[in-house]
Amino acid sequence: MGSEGHQAESSAAEIVFRDVTKRYPGRSAPAVDNLSLRIPAGEICVLVGPSGGG
């Protein structure tokens, strides 16, 4: 590949989560509980929590 790089093709896909729960081994409370989320194509999403939150 030259210095021009390569342009990725555009996509109209989206990411969808429905009722997602994540529980770490040895923990009684879930880190994420019943999360439903839609991330449209081209968007950026960040989940943050306290230090040690996962």
Provide the pLDDT for residue 51: 72
Provide the pLDDT for residue 16: 96
Strands (E), the chain: 15-22, 32-39
Q: Are 22 and 30 in contact (CB under 8 A)?
A: yes
Provide the pLDDT for residue 25: 94
Q: Are 20 and 31 in contact (CB under 8 A)?
A: no
What's this model's pTM, rounded to 2 decimal places? 0.58
Q: Are 1 and 15 in contact (CB under 8 A)?
A: no
Chain centroid to Cα 54, Å, comes to 13
Provide the pLDDT for residue 54: 54
| Average confidence (pLDDT) per 10 residues, the chain, 54 residues | 72 91 92 94 86 62
Provide the pLDDT for residue 2: 60
Between CA 17 and CA 28 the distance in angstroms is 22
